[in-house]
A and B are shown apart, each in its own frame.
Chain A
Amino acid sequence: MTTVTEGRFTDGEWHRLHPATPFLRGGLTFVAIIGIFIVNLRDVIIDNLFGGREGDDGEPLVWLAESGYAGFVVLGIFVLLVGLVVGFYFSWRMHTFRITEEVVEVRSGILFRTNRKARLDRIQGINIQRPFLARIFGAARLEVNVAGQDANVQLSYLGSSAADELRGEILRLASGTQRAEAEAGTNEQLPLVSGDAATGGVIEKRVSELLAPELDPAIAKRESVVTMHLGRLIGSLVLSETTVMLLVFVAGVIVTTVLTGELFAVAILLPTFIGLGSFYVSRFTKSLRYSIAGTSDGVRVGFGLFSTSNETLPPGRIHSVQVTQPLLWRPAGWWEIRLNRASTSAAKGAAGQANTTILPVGNLTDVRRVLELVLPGLVDPESIALLESGLTSKGGDDGFTNSPRRAAVLRWFSWKRTGFVLTPDAVLLRSGAIWRRLVVVPLPRAQGISLTQGPLERRLRLASINVHTVAGPVSAKLGAIDSATALQLHSDAAAATIASATNDTTHRWGVAAAQPASAPVPPAPLAYPEDTTS
């Protein structure tokens, strides 16, 4: 069934991983042990040849050389070595993968065989990681995320350019577009690493790979790229809870020292500073070269200076989005964006945070761009205006259906801002006056809507709405809504969920993009009667 138009890996045949795989996956420790052994052995040889120190019993090797068992030990080590090499070789030979029209399949193991298949239309994201060592050798680890615990398909390691190419091909197959169309498109086909054909020298190729920009400019449109501003990154680290805790701690130490006159407390400071210093540095280096970009196959998030990582989230794989602004960030106008997603990746996200934090820090412009990427259903001017009033508005007549005045009993400061909007594609929940928060749930991804009311809320004629999504850091709950409004929201949102899920085609996103026949309905917010009684 191999046709001319098929890609290098998508011919349905079995392929092997990068030959250096065993070395990169743990062989390095092995090499280090051999190194230590050789260094020790050298001492023994030198001692024996030149008649060195006498009675040096501390060295196990010296003892070995002096006893009569040296020959057996050397033989044993040699057998072990050969066994390991043969084992590594066979485990590499037996570890194969293939990509067909429907599934990604991996076979591995020598004695205990494992065979794992992942359906292409269930892919939640594809992640390419390049740890520093692997990067030097031009290798990369590719991870195909599907929903569920420990359900990811790992291909470690592949050649660096092969990993990029394979990702492009998996995404193309998963999207349902045909290769011919894909090539007609602008940014589907990944170009080979620059300098690959021209120079051909292995070292030059490695160097050019190392120096290549983190995000290949050919993949994404320039205007869709969001990068991390250096000053903002440092500022966000300084203005974090960690710093507040550190200051409180230092103040506590100073007070203790002054009151007791003892200096023992000062001794605790040094390890604290060292620990926190390394924490800041690692968060800083991991967030360097951070970029978020829109590609035709979804959102691409990349970061890292030495070890790099980049992940593609296809459309419709984002279950809810939360934009928050801690009080400390308010003067600077910075925000953080987090997501709920169905898969759990083994890889950490930028700054060592969970990879659900898609924008660690950004100003309003960045937030606007990232929201455009992660919520492709809300890009018309009306929706953007709604999103912005969801972020910064203090309440009032701003398109949101807000809580009545009597909600002030439960939401002392934020009752004016506590509100929601239901559009045909999404529900927006806004809350928090001190700790501003906006949650957006794309309705095709909502798993269910619940309405709850406790005794206190009943007295105040209020109720809470909870839009359930897959587990994650974002909880789409809004309390203290007028109870009649909440009842109506519950039934409207339930109906809108069904309607949007029926029309949803994102599991084969390329097919829908190829035939834009169904005219997009202008997402007019559903109207709610403003509750005036209080």
Chain B
Amino acid sequence: MTERLELADSAWQRVSKKYIVVDVVGYIISAVMIVAISLVPLVLFQWSLGWIPPVVIGIVFLITIVLTPRRVRAIGYQLREDDLLFRRGLAWQRFVAVPYGRMQLVDINRGPLARALGLSELRFVTAAAAATIVIPGIPAEEAERLRDHLVSVAESRRAGL
């Protein structure tokens, strides 16, 4: 395996380690639900090959959960001079750069578990759906500070649509 993509000037802000818990718990809940549904053919109809789907699904979820800490550590963002840079992904890496002036709105979302751990999710929305940045797992006060900062820099760099 050749080396991963890395941008030249990288001083990434990482998201909180506590976000690993949020992500893992979320995956466990959906894994339990989907495995339960996939057990239906085996339990109700006594289908002989019915054990394959739950086992495959279980293994996929296990790998996902095991890799979660690394995946969360791979999430990062940078507040550059004129744009917001965001990265995520291990096998499928993605880097997005969005100029501050393109901002349409900023959302702060908090799920129940994230709220218990004092975390927030920040959504930076632009006119293009694919250029919308979602940064999960930011401590709540920092998220609000970040939002206010983004709004003020967007205001000073406003451009047409």
Point out residues on A near B: beta carbons under 8 Å.
121-122, 124, 147, 316, 342, 444-445, 447-455, 458-459, 461, 463, 466, 468-471, 483, 486-487, 490-491, 494, 497-498, 501-502, 504, 506-507
Decide yes or no whether B145 CB sits under 8 A from chain A. Answer: no
Cβ proximity bits B127-161 to A, threshold 8 Å, 1 near / 0 not: 11111000000000000000000000000010111
Whole-angstrom CA separation of A357 from B92 in the bound complex: 34
Tell me which residues across on chain B come within 8 A of A147, comparing CB atoms.
127, 161
Tell me which residues across on chain B come within 8 A of A507, comparing CB atoms.
160
Tell me which residues across on chain A come within 8 A of B66, comparing CB atoms.
none
The reply to whether B5 and A453 contact each other, CB–CB distance below 8 Å, is yes
Out of B91, B94, B96, B99, name the residue touching A455 (CB < 8 Å). B91
Out of B4, B8, B91, name the residue touching A491 (CB < 8 Å). B8
Whole-angstrom CA separation of A463 from B85 in the bound complex: 18
Whole-angstrom CA separation of A69 from B157 in the bound complex: 73
Out of A444, A448, A491, name the residue touching B159 (CB < 8 Å). A444
Decide yes or no whether B48 CB sits under 8 A from chain A. Answer: no
The reply to whether A463 and B160 contact each other, CB–CB distance below 8 Å, is no
The reply to whether B160 and A504 contact each other, CB–CB distance below 8 Å, is yes
Out of A316, A342, A466, name the residue touching B130 (CB < 8 Å). A466
Out of B1, B92, B127, B128, name the residue touching A454 (CB < 8 Å). B92
Whole-angstrom CA separation of A498 from B83 in the bound complex: 8
Decide yes or no whether B12 CB sits under 8 A from chain A. Answer: no
Whole-angstrom CA separation of A501 from B99 in the bound complex: 9
Cβ proximity bits B113-132 to A, threshold 8 Å, 1 near / 0 not: 00000000000001111110
Whole-angstrom CA separation of A322 from B93 in the bound complex: 27
Tell me which residues across on chain A come within 8 A of B82, comparing CB atoms.
498
13 new A-B contacts, CB < 8 A, other than A453-B5, A455-B92, A469-B128, are A122-B161, A448-B128, A448-B131, A450-B94, A452-B92, A453-B4, A453-B93, A454-B91, A458-B93, A459-B2, A471-B128, A497-B97, A501-B99
The reply to whether A491 and B7 contact each other, CB–CB distance below 8 Å, is yes
Per DSSP, chain B at the interface is loop
Residues of B in contact with A, size category: 20 to 34
- A-B contact list, 20 entries, CB within 8 Å: A342-B127, A447-B98, A447-B131, A449-B97, A450-B97, A451-B93, A451-B94, A452-B92, A452-B95, A458-B93, A470-B128, A471-B129, A487-B6, A490-B7, A490-B95, A494-B83, A494-B97, A497-B83, A502-B157, A502-B159
Point out residues on B near A: beta carbons under 8 Å.
1-2, 4-8, 82-83, 85, 89, 91-99, 101-102, 126-131, 157, 159-161
Whole-angstrom CA separation of A445 from B82 in the bound complex: 16
Taking the nearest CB of chain B, how far is it from the CB of A200, in angstroms? Answer: 44
The reply to whether B160 and A448 contact each other, CB–CB distance below 8 Å, is no
Tell me which residues across on chain A come within 8 A of B2, comparing CB atoms.
458-459, 461
Whole-angstrom CA separation of A98 from B99 in the bound complex: 36
The reply to whether B97 and A490 contact each other, CB–CB distance below 8 Å, is yes
Whole-angstrom CA separation of A445 from B128 in the bound complex: 10
Whole-angstrom CA separation of A504 from B159 in the bound complex: 8
Whole-angstrom CA separation of A244 from B101 in the bound complex: 47
Tell me which residues across on chain B come within 8 A of A468, comparing CB atoms.
126, 128, 130-131
Closest Cβ neighbor of A477 among chain B residues: B130
Closest 5 CB pairs of A and B: A448-B131, A468-B131, A447-B128, A448-B98, A494-B97
Whole-angstrom CA separation of A453 from B89 in the bound complex: 9
Tell me which residues across on chain B come within 8 A of A504, comparing CB atoms.
159-160
Taking the nearest CB of chain B, how far is it from the CB of A221, in angstroms? Answer: 26
Tell me which residues across on chain B come within 8 A of A459, comparing CB atoms.
1-2
Tell me which residues across on chain B come within 8 A of A448, comparing CB atoms.
96-99, 102, 126, 128, 130-131
The reply to whether A458 and B101 contact each other, CB–CB distance below 8 Å, is no
Closest Cβ neighbor of A498 among chain B residues: B82
Whole-angstrom CA separation of A494 from B98 in the bound complex: 8
Whole-angstrom CA separation of A124 from B85 in the bound complex: 29
Out of A122, A124, A316, A498, name the residue touching B99 (CB < 8 Å). A498
Out of B7, B96, B160, B161, name the residue touching A449 (CB < 8 Å). B96
Whole-angstrom CA separation of A504 from B101 in the bound complex: 12
The reply to whether A453 and B92 contact each other, CB–CB distance below 8 Å, is yes
The reply to whether B161 and A342 contact each other, CB–CB distance below 8 Å, is yes
Taking the nearest CB of chain A, how far is it from the CB of B51, in angstroms? Answer: 29
Out of B5, B98, B126, B130, name the residue touching A451 (CB < 8 Å). B5
Tell me which residues across on chain A come within 8 A of B128, comparing CB atoms.
447-448, 468-471
The reply to whether B126 and A447 contact each other, CB–CB distance below 8 Å, is yes
Out of A471, A483, A501, A506, name the residue touching B101 (CB < 8 Å). A501
The reply to whether A451 and B95 contact each other, CB–CB distance below 8 Å, is yes
The reply to whether B1 and A447 contact each other, CB–CB distance below 8 Å, is no
Of the listed residues B5, B6, B98, the one surrounded by the most CB atoms of chain A closer than 10 A to its CB is B5
Closest Cβ neighbor of B99 among chain A residues: A498
Whole-angstrom CA separation of A345 from B142 in the bound complex: 41
Whole-angstrom CA separation of A451 from B131 in the bound complex: 11
Of the listed residues A147, A455, A497, the one surrounded by the most CB atoms of chain B closer than 10 A to its CB is A497
Whole-angstrom CA separation of A467 from B101 in the bound complex: 16
Whole-angstrom CA separation of A461 from B3 in the bound complex: 9
Tell me which residues across on chain A come within 8 A of B1, comparing CB atoms.
458-459
Tell me which residues across on chain A come within 8 A of B96, comparing CB atoms.
448-451
Tell me which residues across on chain B come within 8 A of A491, comparing CB atoms.
7-8, 97
Answer whether A450 and B99 are a contact pair too, CB < 8 Å, given A459-B2, A471-B128.
no
Tell me which residues across on chain B come within 8 A of A466, comparing CB atoms.
130
